[in-house]
Amino acid sequence: MRSSRRRVRREMDDEVEQGSAVDSPARESLAARLISETKGSPDVIADRLGSADETSQARTLQVLQRHQGNAFVESVVRRLVAGRTTREIAAGSGGGAGIGRGDTMTLERDVGDEALEEDIPAEEPVAEAEVDFPEGATETVGPETSSFYPVAATSLEDVSNQISGRDEAGHCGWVESMDFRQTGGKITAIVVTVTIDVEMPSWTPPPSMLPKAKAEWDRWYAALLAHEAGHVKLVHDHFDGLASEILGKSPRKGRNLFNNAKAALSKASKAYDKKSGHGTKAGTIIDTGIESREIDEKKKEDEAKKKQEEAEKGGKKAEVEGVPQADLPA
């Protein structure tokens, strides 16, 4: 099977190099041999064509269309698209934070970027596959959702120790996806979606916590949230307007723009973390000493207050003892 696939691809490539026409005798012969060798099986034909370049696929499928009809070629094309999508995912074309899903296209566009609509006989129009999104560019980037992880602590020191045991105090994650349809070698409908989630710690200071310690928690939390907002901004910087930019491009160019945006966002996010020290240079370090100092200050104040109260009580007692008592009746 593997040698047959290599032979089919070699023969197709030879014809492309020679500039052969769609209805060349050699291609007619190749199509006839494909049908004979595969016993007319769409699965086997798709497997053979899968290793050929897109131009050769398009021309061969158009010859098969004249001999076998639309229904047969549509069946082959579906298997080609399914096989191509599987290979793209396996190769990581949609890897990273999100996967760019397969496209839904008209028949002639499924078989290659170089095929032309006028190559298909007018008396046998090819039906366009159903899609679940409108023409033009549709784009949804965010808004970000919020998620939380619990922190069980009674002091800033406890909070710091728990959070320090995590990879990140806060995290901004995103998932990118792209769906499109093409007609005549150009993307005519595209949907780009990027979901964003910001994960933060969930903790409420206990009622016994003193004001300065509570203020430090609020300050630190705001600094962490601001850092994650920087990541959110980068997502928008790289994906806002991307759908409109891809619209009208060839599928190959569209995929490249999408994957380049993903790679650029990943690189920019890492650079942002490196420059900011993952936010530590912008205040995302809890000053646990504030709480201990505040507790010490409170103890000193309480002790001073107690001494003052004792002194006041002692003074009043001395005054009472110094007052002459009235003569008692006989």
Q: Which domain holds residue 262?
A: 136-289
Token readout for 181 is 């349809």
If one compares 108 and 214, the residue with the highest pLDDT of the two is 214
Provide mean pLDDT across the span 58-73. Answer: 69
In this structure, the answer to whether residues 142 and 285 fall within a common structural domain is: yes
In this structure, the answer to whether residues 103 and 153 fall within a common structural domain is: no
Pairwise CA distance, residues 280 & 299, whole Å: 32
In this structure, the answer to whether residues 166 and 245 fall within a common structural domain is: yes
If one compares 40 and 55, the residue with the highest pLDDT of the two is 40
For residue 254, how far is the Cα from the chain centroid?
A: 17
Please say whether the beta carbons of 61 and 137 come within 8 A.
no
Please say whether the beta carbons of 108 and 120 come within 8 A.
yes
Token readout for 217 is 């928690």
In this structure, the answer to whether residues 282 and 146 fall within a common structural domain is: yes
In this structure, the answer to whether residues 107 and 233 fall within a common structural domain is: no
Q: Where are the alpha helices (DSSP H) in the chain?
A: 2-17, 25-38, 42-49, 54-68, 70-91, 107-110, 156-164, 211-239, 242-246, 251-276, 289-321
* Span 68-124, pLDDT tens digits: 766 676 677 767 666 543 343 333 333 333 323 333 222 222 223 333 333 333 333
Quick check: is 303 in a domain? no
* Span 140-191, pLDDT tens digits: 999 999 999 999 999 999 999 999 999 999 999 999 999 999 999 999 999 9
Quick check: is 329 in a domain? no
Least confident range of 103-107, 249-253, 266-270: 103-107
In this structure, the answer to whether residues 114 and 141 fall within a common structural domain is: no
In this structure, the answer to whether residues 87 and 168 fall within a common structural domain is: no
- Percent of the chain exceeding pLDDT 70 equals 62
In this structure, the answer to whether residues 153 and 284 fall within a common structural domain is: yes
If one compares 28 and 213, the residue with the highest pLDDT of the two is 213
3-class state of residue 330 by DSSP: coil
Bridge-based pairing state of the strands 186-202 and 171-183: antiparallel
Question: Angle 25-38/42-49 helices, nearest 10 degrees?
Answer: 130
Q: Is the pLDDT of residue 242 over 70?
A: yes
Q: What are phi and psi of 176, to 5 degrees?
A: -105, 145
Quick check: is 325 in a domain? no
Question: Angle 211-239/251-276 helices, nearest 10 degrees?
Answer: 150
Question: Residue with structure tokens 């980068």?
Answer: 234
Q: Is the pLDDT of residue 329 over 70?
A: no
3-class state of residue 84 by DSSP: helix
If one compares 254 and 21, the residue with the highest pLDDT of the two is 254
DSSP 193-230: EEEEEEEEEE----TTS-HHHHHHHHHHHHHHHHHHHH
Quick check: is 126 in a domain? no
Question: Angle 42-49/70-91 helices, nearest 10 degrees?
Answer: 50
In this structure, the answer to whether residues 103 and 213 fall within a common structural domain is: no
Pairwise CA distance, residues 36 & 32, whole Å: 6
Q: Report the chain's mean pLDDT, rounded to a whole number.
A: 76
Question: Is the four-CA dihedral 41, 43, 48, 54 of positive or negative sign?
Answer: positive
Pairwise CA distance, residues 202 & 225, whole Å: 12
**Can you give the pLDDT at residue 88?**
39
* Span 286-310, pLDDT tens digits: 999 999 999 999 899 888 888 888 8
Number of neighbouring beta carbons within 10 Å of residue 204: 10
In this structure, the answer to whether residues 165 and 99 fall within a common structural domain is: no
In this structure, the answer to whether residues 85 and 146 fall within a common structural domain is: no
Global pTM? Answer: 0.56
- Say which residues have a Cβ less than 8 Å from residue 152's Cβ, sequence separation at least 6: 162
3-class state of residue 183 by DSSP: strand
**Can you give the pLDDT at residue 54?**
63
Q: Is the pLDDT of residue 39 over 90?
A: no
Provide mean pLDDT across the span 230-251. Answer: 97
Least confident range of 5-9, 214-218, 295-299: 5-9
Pairwise CA distance, residues 313 & 324, whole Å: 20
Number of domains in the chain: 2
Question: Residue with structure tokens 């005054």?
Answer: 319
| Whole-Å CA distances, 17 to 55, 56, 225 | 11, 10, 58
Q: What are phi and psi of 148, to 5 degrees?
A: -140, 150
Among 69, 91, 119, give the residue marking a domain's end. 119
Least confident range of 3-7, 107-111, 217-221: 107-111
